[in-house]
Structure 1
Amino acid sequence: MTLPRAASDALLERMTALHPKIIDLTLERVERLLAALGHPEARLPPVVHVAGTNGKGSTLAMIRAGLEARGRVCHAYTSPHLARFHERIRLAGRLIAEERLSAVLDRCMEANGEAPITFFEITTCAAFLAFAEEAADWTLLEVGLGGRLDATNVVVPRLSVITPVDMDHQQYLGDTLGAIAGEKAGIIKRRVPVVVARQHPEAMAVIAARAERLGAPLHAWGEQWVAEESRGRLVYQDERGLLDLPLPNLPGPHQIVNAGTAVAALRVLGEGDPEAAVSRAEWPARMQRLRGSLAALAGPAELWLDGGHNPAAGEALAATLRRMPPRPVHLVAGMLRTKDVGGFLRPLAAVADRLWAVSIPGEANTLPAEETAAHAEAAGLRAGTAPSVEAAVRAAAAHGAGRVLICGSLYLAGHVLREWE
């Protein structure tokens, strides 16, 4: 299904021409535009700022579910979008309306003029403008890339949250865990509490050092709190006591870490319902079962969708598949040139029977299907190519009542959701 073109689409297209680089990390341009707009970032409802490599979106969705269950009204800013840009800006609990989105985009374009600014920077300013002018109890902000120089890092939050840090975006953030963790830890502010998920020791050391240097109270997994699965339940414990909660409704053992992080955040805030946080959160393209027209092509096979794209996500997907009722697993994968394709696919080789590689439709930076297939073969998977997602799903489903997983990129996931769900 092709979505109808809206007025905001033309504005968004114009914004992409203001700065040729998709990613160019600095705060100077966004600070200039926010000043021209009257500093909306200073008028936001209290902010929870979330950074990390994996689990940012899921953790934010759980925090929002916990707050909203107690009647709190939340703004939320996430990226990237999957089917439509409006998904990035949730205004007082609802996706931003087309008329409101067009209005704030237009105001940002007028205030910016022809000055260079990236697409993410100017659209972040638009989100802040919308949030500043609509009443809410909380503003939940997801970092776009990194943290220290991300466009969202112009706020002084009520709480900072850092989800698991792993190797990704090395060309921008550094080629060691310590360097990447340093960029993520850039969201920590002086004397502002920070909740930290389970981390590799190298990353944790960097995060803890920055928190100590800034006098930011640290609430870290394994120190101030812990969360684990026990007898089909999520057991959370911190200095205030123990919570016996249901398992997260978002599937996969990695969601235990995200759920614990969200509960820890709510406990530090003194707000929200921890049980609702883990049982009511919704977040598309994170081991999402598809049931639309594309699923019909899969016949008796289950069809699943996930947007994970780095080695840690590959490990998490493999662990999730191992926990599911046994069925033959077939992968439909499309990835970007900038990703560690082998690192993502190697963990999946142990749980999948075969892979069909596709190029991501409409994405200039897609890895050609033939190259993805070659990486898959090198990782130990039997692999072939398909001319489209539809053809790949049909080919995978021809092997019977197995489990077909479309994976490798949020851009591929967005294509699937736009066209078939």
Structure 2
Amino acid sequence: GMKPGLERVFRLLDRLGSPQEHECLVVHIAGTNGKGTVASVVASMFQAAGKRTGLYTSPHLISFRERIRVDGQMISGDDVASLVSLMKEGIEQEQATFFEATTALAFEYFRRQQVEVMVLETGMGGRLDATNVTRPRYVVIPSISRDHTRWLGDTIQGIAAEKAAVIKPGTEVYTAVEDSEALGPIMKRTDETGAVLHQLCDEVSIELEGHSLGSLQFTLTTPGRVYHSLVAPLTGLFHISNLALAVLVAEHAGLTDTEIREGLRLMRRTGYRARLEVISRDPCTIVLDVSHNAAGIERSIDALLEVCSSTGNRCVVLGLADDKDATGIAGHLARFADEVLTVNLPVERSMDAERLAEACRSHGIAASGRTSVCEALDEARGKAGPGGIVLVTGSFYLAGEVVRIDMPGGAP
């Protein structure tokens, strides 16, 4: 039967002839942090293997079209328009949400494009997420922590159970989760469905060879192979577990060492960006980050402290949605920032910049609100000065604004 909460998206898909049942390999990625990274790397690896690969991610930085890609290419504006007009009546009659409609549109586009692999990132949660309408061959759960506390219930077990619901009979499940509270519901779900659970800590060993701002190099040993000196264009040791999960999936699916290596090296061609991405190095380094919860920001700060010289001023531009843990986030920023400039996000659910500045000040950081992202960025550049660093973090929306203002890398 249909699950309550998924009826609308199923009815929308029925009207299209159930494109989610298109015969292909499905990789479904659920969890709190690391989803986008795993999705991009897995998609890049299958592309390197010559498989026609659909990638569905959210949210976007600048353009809605970023969410739906085939072989790295965004869906065209024309294709969006024609699919929306095809689906318009159904969307209205079913009163579908934005995410439900977008997800159905992605499945229909992928079917029309005859993809061989679909890589799907859940929106929020898992059990009732609009993406939870397929039978995935692989499920990856990179991490579990508290993010949207007001939606998913407050316990780690509750959050993990929501995410684990994307596991189906016949799924190979890969996770880096080690915390017993979070692992419990994942193990329970794999038992119930007869899926196979692979825990990263049991299956790989990692030898770090080098890391800097924008690059990781490491040797990875899996049950089947040794991957010598893999290189990824990423900042932060915490990413290695995400990358290792992607390698395990690709290896299990039959990809070669060469394909896996190339997929890793070229992962940015999937449109992946704004994860501790350096968008300018002169006169000061500007780093763009989409971390938006305490666990993600903690990892980003750790990563920057590992690779940044101790000299130079450090300024942070911060904007958060109003359901985030501002105090917890400020505590992590206090280890890094000389000063924080807070901004309102260009969305209704923005946390007030002054309230955010107050949370930072309560941790002893010099902090004050600014009226616009543009103004905050200019001022942060000045405060960082030559050799300094500006970190822009807290939200996809904020990162998108900065990409718009500062288009040296061009639109994604």
Q: Same fold by TM (over 0.5)?
A: yes
Following the alignment from structure 1 to structure 2, what is the Cα–Cα distance between the partners of residues 325 and 337?
30
Alignment of 1:334-349 (within 5 A): 334-349=319-334
User: Deviating runs (4+, > 6 A) in structure 1?
Assistant: none
One of 377, 389, 392 as aligned partner of 2:376:
392
Alignment of 1:200-239 (within 5 A): 200-227=179-206, 229-230=208-209, 233-239=217-223
Following the alignment from structure 2 to structure 1, what is the Cα–Cα distance between the partners of residues 196 and 93?
42
Q: Are 1:249 and 2:228 matched, yes or no?
A: no
Alignment of 1:69-88 (within 5 A): 69-88=48-67
Q: Report the equivalent of 2:305.
A: 322
Following the alignment from structure 1 to structure 2, what is the Cα–Cα distance between the partners of residues 406 and 253?
19
Following the alignment from structure 1 to structure 2, what is the Cα–Cα distance between the partners of residues 260 and 243?
10
Q: Are 1:59 and 2:38 matched, yes or no?
A: yes
Q: Report the equivalent of 1:96.
A: 75
Following the alignment from structure 1 to structure 2, what is the Cα–Cα distance between the partners of residues 230 and 312?
25
Query: Aligned AA for 1:279?
Result: R
Alignment of 1:131-170 (within 5 A): 131-170=110-149
Q: CA deviation at 1:226?
A: 4.0
| Other structure's SS at 1:379 match | coil
Q: CA deviation at 1:182?
A: 0.5
Which deviates more from structure 2 when the two are superposed, residues 177-186 or residues 226-235? 226-235
Q: Report the equivalent of 1:285.
A: 274
Following the alignment from structure 2 to structure 1, what is the Cα–Cα distance between the partners of residues 328 and 206?
27
Q: CA deviation at 1:380?
A: 3.0
- Contact in 2 for aligned 1:73/1:93 (Cα 8 Å): no
| Other structure's SS at 2:362 match | helix
| Other structure's SS at 2:226 match | strand
Q: Any idea what the Cα deviations from partners look like across 1:120-141, whole Å, max 9, x if unmatched?
A: 0011101111111112221111
- Contact in 1 for aligned 2:52/2:70 (Cα 8 Å): no
Query: Aligned AA for 2:225?
Result: G
Which deviates more from structure 2 when the two are superposed, residues 267-276 or residues 36-45? 267-276
| Other structure's SS at 1:222 match | helix
Following the alignment from structure 2 to structure 1, what is the Cα–Cα distance between the partners of residues 58 and 370?
29
Distance 1:81 1:223, change over 3 A: same
Q: CA deviation at 1:397?
A: 2.3
Q: CA deviation at 1:94?
A: 1.3
Q: Any idea what the Cα deviations from partners look like across 1:136-190, whole Å, max 9, x if unmatched?
A: 2211111011111100000001211111111111222121111101111011001
Q: CA deviation at 1:76?
A: 0.6
Query: Aligned AA for 1:359?
Result: N
Q: CA deviation at 1:197?
A: 1.9
Q: Are 1:301 and 2:284 matched, yes or no?
A: yes
Following the alignment from structure 1 to structure 2, what is the Cα–Cα distance between the partners of residues 409 and 228?
32
Q: Any idea what the Cα deviations from partners look like across 1:276-330, whole Å, max 9, x if unmatched?
A: 2332212211011124xxx8xxx62111110101111111111111122314311
| Structure 1 residues not aligned, in runs of 5+ | 1-24
Q: CA deviation at 1:416?
A: 1.7
Following the alignment from structure 1 to structure 2, what is the Cα–Cα distance between the partners of residues 419 and 393?
9
Q: Report the equivalent of 1:408.
A: 394
- Contact in 2 for aligned 1:226/1:260 (Cα 8 Å): no
Distance 1:116 1:226, change over 3 A: farther
Following the alignment from structure 2 to structure 1, what is the Cα–Cα distance between the partners of residues 351 and 41?
33
- Contact in 2 for aligned 1:229/1:256 (Cα 8 Å): no
Following the alignment from structure 1 to structure 2, what is the Cα–Cα distance between the partners of residues 279 and 312?
26
- Contact in 2 for aligned 1:228/1:256 (Cα 8 Å): no
Query: Aligned AA for 1:329?
Result: R
Distance 1:107 1:228, change over 3 A: farther
| Other structure's SS at 1:35 match | helix
| Structure 2 residues not aligned, in runs of 5+ | 212-216, 408-412
Following the alignment from structure 2 to structure 1, what is the Cα–Cα distance between the partners of residues 20 and 322?
34
- The RMSD of aligned alpha carbons is 1.8
Following the alignment from structure 1 to structure 2, what is the Cα–Cα distance between the partners of residues 226 and 151?
35
One of 169, 184, 201 as aligned partner of 2:163:
184
Which deviates more from structure 2 when the two are superposed, residues 328-337 or residues 382-391? 382-391
TM-score, length of structure 1 as denominator length: 0.88
Q: CA deviation at 1:393?
A: 2.1
Identity of aligned residues (%): 34
Following the alignment from structure 1 to structure 2, what is the Cα–Cα distance between the partners of residues 58 and 108?
30
Q: Are 1:356 and 2:335 matched, yes or no?
A: no
Which deviates more from structure 2 when the two are superposed, residues 301-310 or residues 320-329? 320-329
Query: Aligned AA for 2:406?
Result: W
Following the alignment from structure 1 to structure 2, what is the Cα–Cα distance between the partners of residues 148 and 342?
29
Q: Report the equivalent of 2:178.
A: 199
